[in-house]
Each structure stands twice: as structure tokens, then as C-alpha cells.
Chains A and B, each alone.
Chain A
């Protein structure tokens, strides 16, 4: 058994920032990550960090833009915290040596991004995330923070009182990928989940293979509700063949979208008469697919993104990375021809329900970054708002977990007297657990084991049995088959355009995946670097998370932000100014709602029509 004050799970931007903050608050902190920190998917972020740094800009403008972009589903305390803390956190990164792009006077550069009223996206070329990740890792090395790299966390050591609000988290169970050894990691003060998004639930995604929603699934099964999971961002410009991301920075610098008739459709077909290509991401993604569906797509699949008119010098200065990506992954020279692009799954606005201090409803369990839902992004995340979320809320979660004081949170978490139960939706199949066994259900002991070490040991034992079961089984279904089926169902039916029938079909297929998973086995018998085993466990996580996405997509019968429903073409503020929460409830999920908080420090954000 290993023991530390604070255990951070995941070592991307949010995890690294949380670890540094916990360390600075005096805690003995360790990071446990299934990759090595520099492999984390934060490194693929291209665009930049929104922060109101300049005179003429203001955190209140940033907060307003973010709330509007969220389609009024962000919680004001979270949104305002992001906007207020982002400048200091961004400057912090600069002091830690991050190589931002620079203006003539030596100050950091900022550029326009979609949905922003001021050019406040602070960037380092078109590889901002790479620089943020490496700079943060340098700070972790500098502080001598212990990193358990290539240790895969497979369970949270939580107690199992009936009411999740009464539960406590005492650590995590992880296995060493290289040796197969399974160990408990005791956390005396807190566990911070910073495990990233669930992009691999979809077939066409900009996300890394490692983005399998592990933290979300583990927190969910431990009793923490997942919030607003139906809100999935589809990035308008991913390369068709691989899903590799082409940064919004291309449009920010003046790149233009054309259909197969050479029309600048964002204007010519009236999708966004003011902002055109720089409308919010959900608006642009739907516009592109509408063009394709109406026969104006190139090869019936994608549209063109043209940046040639920007000139080689400007492209080389600010977007050089894009040239390499288009060349290496699509065989297109962005200097001489337009680049093919189509929407790809990119980001999960929803996630583990937390308050603005990163706390979940389980004592000692925190979450930050894409795996969490504070909620800052509500129905739609603005480009350039993910990276500041990592550092702002990563810091807060790490600091609070280490015992730092951030004041009382305004956002409430967990089931309580302020929520409303879902009552009237018919589900095509019952969601939730399909038996326990090797499928990773949480074994209950009715609160018999009281002390922290006992709880941890019990979870370690369950994890060992689970792994033994998977390795000892000689035949059955392989995870890759189940995963492919799940991904295809999500891309077919829970994509940019959603229908009631489609989402119900998805839920049925997810159910099938669950049943098939009952018979899953790991063919590779080795304990050494068994990626087959790891991916098999990840696939179970994907099933759980995908189901919450589809459940949310079914119950929310309105059109808000990234969530579009064919039968419900308007935003229903009377009914739906509330968050969707899905709770595992020991294997029989339930859904409830919590009202969105629109009252800010100085004003109330009145929902307005969202036009760009």
C-alpha cells in the first residue's frame, strides 16, 4: 500500500495544476496516471487560453460571453470564478516559462475566437496545450512531486453508506501497467480526479485513444451523479479520415468555410449573419452537416476550410502546426489548397458533478478539468475556455483537497431537497448494471468496514478478483468488438443531430453491449504490460458513460447549445433551465434535475436568444 495526503488521478493540465497547488498548500501529493504525464491529451489542445488580460477587456465580459455560449446552462458562480481567476493563472504560466506567442512590445499575444466579444485567447502558436502540458510538468518535476506513471486506476476506495452524500473516499486502487501488480493508494486528505473526457465513446473523435471516461465512470459507480452528459461538443473542423483536430485558430485568423459550390455558407445560407465562421462551435458544426445533408458537401462528407489568403508568412507564424497536421494526416498542403473538414466529437461539457471548489458529494473526492462539470460550459463550451478551466479549477481542487480554504461553495452537489425527480420519460430498456462478477460492479459490505485502510483493502481485493477473473477466462467476447459497436451506435444516433427514435436505439445497443460485456475475456494471459486488460476495463467505463450521455439526450426534450433534438426545435427556458443528473444508485440509475444558477455577483444573466 502506498500512502499520501493527496492523490491526483490523471496528469494532464488539470491534474498537474492540482498537484502543484496541493504541494504548495503543504500536502504530500502524488500523481497516479495511466500514461506518462507528457503523453496526456491536454497536449493536443491547439487554440489557446481565454483570459481578460488587456485594458479594454474585463472578466465580466468573459463571463458574459461564456454564459451566452453555454446557452444559459452554466452556473454563474462557476462561470464568474473562471473569468476572474483565468488572468492570474495565465500569467502564472508565463512566469513558469510557458513560451507564449508574443507581440512587438514583448507582451503575450491574444487572438479572436468564436463566441468572444474581445480577442482574449492567449496562445502559443497552434500548440498551446502542448506548451501548457510541458510547462506544468516542469513545475511538477521542479517540486519533486511523486508521479506513478503507467499506473492505471481502476477503482475508488469509497465507503458504501446508502446515501452517497454520506460516503467518504479514502484512496484509489491502481495496477502497475508494466508489472500487473495491483495496489492500494491511501489518500489521507483527498483524491482529485483529473482523468479527461470520454471521447472514445464515439467513433469519429478528436480525442486520444486514452480518453475513455475512466474518472467519470468510477465516480458514477461510487455514487457521484454525472451532470449534463448529453452536452457533447462536436468540433466543426476535424480532418475526415482520422478526426485530427484543425484548430479554431484557423478561423480566428480569418480562415473561411466553403461548400462544394464555393459558397461561403455561414453567411450565404444565413447560419450566422454576423459572426460567420466565428459563430459558436455548435452553430458551425450543425451548419456544416446541414450543407452536407442538403447535397452541398464535398464528396458528400465534408466542407472546405480555406486559409490560403492569409499568406504564407502569417500562416507560418501563427498556424504552422496546422500545415503539418493537414499534410501528415490528410495529405493536403494548406498553403496551396483548402483543407477538408467535418464535425468530430471533441469535448464533453458534462461530467462529474462538482462545486466551484472541485468537491463532489462524496467527502474527500474531487474532480477537475474535462472529467468534471462545475458547470462552466453548460450547453456548449466556447473555444479557448477548456485550458483556463484546467488551471483555474485544477488549482482550486488541489488546494482544497490539501486543506486550503476557498470559502463556502455556492453550488450544491448530490441528491438533495433542491432537486426535482425525472418522472415522465419512457425508457426502451432499463439502464444500469447487468450483473456484477467481472463486470466491475461495486461490492457492498453494508458499511461493515469502517476504517480507511479496511475500505481500501476491500477495494483492492475486489480489483484483484476482477482482474483474475478477466485473465483466467479462456474464451468469450473481446472488448474491441464491444467497443466498436458502442462507438458506432453513439456516432450513428447520439451525434450532432438527435431524434427520439435514434437515441432509444442507442440505448438498446448500449444495453446489448452491457450484456455482451458479461462474457468479456482477456486473451493476453500476461501480467506484463497487458494493454488488452487495460482496454477491457476501459471499455466497461465507456459503456457506463455512453449510457449517461444517451439517457440525458433522451430526457432533455429541447434544443439547447450542442444538444439538438429533431422533435423539439426550441430552447424551453420555462422547463429546462436545469441540469440533468444521472445517478448510478447501486446499478439502477435514476435521473433528477437541479436548477441552473443564473444569479452572479453583480447581475443576473437573463437568458436571451443566442445569435451570432
Chain B
């Protein structure tokens, strides 16, 4: 097996003690361990081909990482490898302090949105082979960085909660009577795309308006509201209440239809269209009162 295929290097801070510490486990692994041997054998067909990733590092608590920097990792390439796979490999083999959120590995938990080569993407569903190297992996822009690729999500969650994202109907029929509310297939189809949101915050991070106006609800929250506003199962007066929330100063009218949110959404939700539709609904509602 090759030993030169995976050397961590540090840019800007070559003498960084944290990185020296990171080298030792990798070296240990390469000495022994059957599983590592097997993995490397399967990679032989790629002739030791590696992927060069540059990962943003920052930790307010660790002296060597207080000044943000990029670390370089060379990770053995495997067919089908994703950006998430590459940072997991770098963490498990080279530097266990490399920090990022991830859980399901299948684009449904929404934990691992990163800024990859200048675009918001979900790490787990972004193929390495689709990217130019070296691959720059950074935390989502416009959010405070907690550590490495982890950003503070509190503001995002606050905005999601601000649109009162729950069925409000107070007089829902008694479930013990086993009667569901009826909903037409058309209406279900209408809200379908909006319900796919996984709260990854890519859209919010890509939005120039959200970057400049911290109170702007943002595409994800407005899309969440869209689901409720369009769902026929809620009563008219509740819908009017929802539109009032959306047409406030930092609501739908802030959107300048730049489509950046729609472009980065990993679930292909037509966010900008949903916002536009809500603007039209808001206008219609206001006309009714004239």
C-alpha cells in the first residue's frame, strides 16, 4: 500500500501543533489494521488517486485555530465519493478535531449544507467527481461560524418559527371518530414541493436580501408558510392571518426574485415561485377589503 497518498498538510500554519497531532493517528492506521489494508486494496484500481480538499478551520477556543485558516487534505478517491465522505475520511484518518454536522448521509436530515467551491451544497449529495480540485469546503456564508464547518443555526430556526409553522385549526374533528379531513389530490400536489424542505439553510445563506436584512423571514420560512397558506384544510380566516405575517415589512416583499435560493435548493423546491405566488395572494387579499 502506498503511504504518500494521504498526507495532511497545513497551509498558512505549517508548524501548527494541532496538525502535528492529527498526523499521528493516520500514521498508526497505516502501520496496522486489516480494514485499512482492505480499503486500500480496493483503491488500487484508482492508482492511488487522491482528492485534494481545502477545508476551512476555526475554533475560538484553540489558540492555533483562532485565526481562521484552510487545511489541505489529500483523501483517497473512491467511485461515488461525496464531499461528506471526503471530510469524514479526513476526520477519521487525519484530524479528529475536524468538525461538521452530519447524520443521515442521504439528504433528508439537512445537517450538512456547506459552501463548496463557492456554492451552497449538501455535502452528502455532492459528488466529488463533479467538482474542480482543489475543492474548497467552507461553512455557510452569512451565518456565524461556531467551529470549522459548523455555523450557528439559531437565527434560521427563529425565522422558521416566526411564520407560525403549524396547523392552527382549533376545531379539528375528534380523531377517535376516525374521520380524516378530505384533501384533493390537486391540492396535495400543489403543496407537495414545499413540504420537501429539510431546513438545511442553503437558501437563506445564498440570499443577498437575507444577508443585508437580518429580520427578513427568508426563503425557507416563507416556503414553510406557503405550505400552510395553500393547504385547503385550513380555514380562510387563518389564511388571512398567515398572509398578514408574510406581507409585513420583512416578509415576501423583500424578495427581489434573484432566484439564488431556488438555484441552491438541494430538494429542487421552486422557492422563488412560491414567494411570488404569496405576493399575488397578498395583493388579492388586500383587494378584497377595498
Contacts and interface: CB of A to CB of B under 8 A. Distances in A.
B146 A178 contact: yes
24 contacts: A38-B198, A43-B104, A91-B180, A92-B175, A94-B181, A95-B180, A96-B166, A99-B195, A103-B185, A105-B182, A127-B108, A130-B108, A141-B166, A208-B104, A242-B80, A331-B80, A484-B35, A485-B35, A523-B22, A524-B97, A525-B62, A528-B59, A528-B61, A532-B97
B99 A529 contact: yes
Given A96-B167, A105-B182, A134-B195, A209 B102 contact: yes
A107 B180 contact: yes
Interface in B59-78: 59-62
B104 A38 contact: no
Interface of A: 35-36, 38-41, 43-44, 53, 87-89, 91-92, 94-97, 99-108, 125, 127, 130-131, 134, 138-139, 141-142, 178, 208-210, 241-245, 324-325, 328-331, 475, 478, 480-481, 484-485, 488, 522-532
A141 B33 CA distance: 47
Given A43-B198, A97-B231, A525-B62, 8 more contacts: A43-B104, A97-B167, A100-B188, A209-B104, A523-B96, A524-B99, A528-B60, A530-B97
Contact of B62 (A99, A178, A526): A526
Contact of A94 (B180, B191, B195): B180
Contacts of B4: none
Nearest to B78: A241
Contact of A141 (B60, B105, B125, B165): B165
Interface residues of B, number: 69
B139 to A, nearest CB: 12
A325 B95 CA distance: 30
Contacts of A475: 24
Given A142-B166, A242-B80, A531 B99 contact: yes
A58 B195 CA distance: 31
A356 B166 CA distance: 30
Interface string B81-115: 00000000001100111011111111111110000
Given A208-B105, A210-B103, A532 B96 contact: yes
B184 A106 contact: yes
B35 A101 contact: no
B183 A480 contact: no
Nearest to B234: A97
A36 B106 contact: no
B214 to A, nearest CB: 20
B287 interface: no
Contacts of A532: 96-97, 99
A99 B109 CA distance: 18
Contacts of A99: 188, 191-192, 195, 227, 231
B97 to A, nearest CB: 3
Interface centre among A97, A101, A102, A530 (most CB of B within 10 A): A97
A63 to B, nearest CB: 17
Contacts of A522: 96
A374 to B, nearest CB: 22
Nearest to A480: B92
Nearest to B153: A36
Given A96-B167, A528-B59, A91 B179 contact: yes
The 7 closest A-B pairs by CB, nearest first: A106-B182, A524-B97, A97-B167, A138-B166, A142-B166, A95-B172, A39-B109
B280 interface: no
Contacts of A524: 96-97, 99
A35 B176 CA distance: 33
Contacts of A141: 161, 165-166
Interface centre among A41, A130, A527 (most CB of B within 10 A): A130
B147 A528 contact: yes
Contact of B106 (A39, A125, A325, A527): A325
B196 interface: yes
A181 B253 CA distance: 41
Contacts of B228: 97
Contacts of A324: 107
Contacts of B134: none
A244 B80 contact: no
Contact of A329 (B106, B167, B199): B106
A39 B183 contact: no
Nearest to A45: B108
Contacts of A330: 80
Contacts of B198: 38, 43, 130
B21 interface: yes
Nearest to A488: B35
Contact of B97 (A106, A209, A480, A523): A523
Contacts of A35: 103, 109, 111
Contacts of B105: 208-209, 242-244
Contacts of A38: 109-110, 198-199
Interface string B193-212: 00110110000000000000
B25 interface: yes
Contact of B61 (A96, A101, A480, A527): A527
B29 interface: yes
B46 interface: no
A245 B107 CA distance: 12
Contacts of B79: 241
Contacts of B148: 529
A36 B112 CA distance: 13
Contact of B183 (A87, A102, A488, A530): A102
A480 B91 CA distance: 9
A53 B178 contact: yes
B150 interface: yes
A44 B96 contact: no
A345 to B, nearest CB: 14
Interface string B142-176: 00001110100100010001000111110011011
Contacts of A142: 166-168
Contacts of B175: 88-89, 91-92, 95
Contacts of A478: 25, 96
Nearest to B95: A523
B190 to A, nearest CB: 10
Interface string B103-132: 111111111000000000000010000000
A100 B231 CA distance: 12
Nearest to B32: A481
Contacts of B150: 529
Contacts of B60: 528
A525 B195 CA distance: 40
Contact of B21 (A44, A523, A530): A523
Contacts of B80: 241-242, 329-331
A331 B79 CA distance: 10
Contact of A39 (B110, B173, B191): B110
B233 interface: yes
